Amino acid sequence: MRRRTPAGLVGAEPGPAHHIVFDGRAVPALSGQSIAAALWADGVLAWRTTRFGGRPRGVFCGIGACFDCLATVDGRANQRTCLVPAEPGTVVTTQEGHGRADLAV
């Protein structure tokens, strides 16, 4: 059995670059990157606002334990962008509050 080691991964090369769409503009992404990582790499630090106060939020924990990195992905609200892969052509939009305008809260 062949084992992967950190030393062996140092020379790893990412797959070909592609783009996702964030709030109407193209953002470069690499194969295997999460949406949050692609946005961060492009200098985008926030893509959600809080329900009360409209404060900006982006990645906090980076492992899916919190909910600061929520965004609307391909029309689905409340997606944790640190867990969702940045697939070619994925459309991400800034989410305001809880992302459910259809609910009376």
pLDDT tens for each residue of 51-103? 888 888 888 888 888 888 999 999 999 999 999 999 999 999 998 766 655 54
Q: What is the pLDDT of residue 81?
A: 96
Strands, sheet with 56-57, edge to edge from the N-terminal-most edge strand: 56-57, 48-49, 95-96
Domains of the chain by residue range: 16-92
Position 45 pLDDT exceeds 80: yes
Position 38 pLDDT exceeds 90: yes
Asked if 41 and 31 count as a contact pair (C-beta separation under 8 A), the reply is no
Asked if 82 and 69 count as a contact pair (C-beta separation under 8 A), the reply is yes
Four-way CATH pick for 16-92: 3.40.120.10, 3.10.20.440, 3.10.20.30, 3.90.1210.10? 3.10.20.440
User: Cβ atoms within 10 A of the Cβ of 14, count?
Assistant: 10
pLDDT tens for each residue of 7-29? 676 776 777 899 999 999 999 99
Q: What is the pLDDT of residue 9?
A: 66
Residue of 21, 9, 8, 38 whose CA lies nearest to 72: 21
Asked if 27 and 39 count as a contact pair (C-beta separation under 8 A), the reply is yes
Report the C-alpha gap between 98 and 95 in whole angstroms. Answer: 7
Position 48 pLDDT exceeds 80: yes
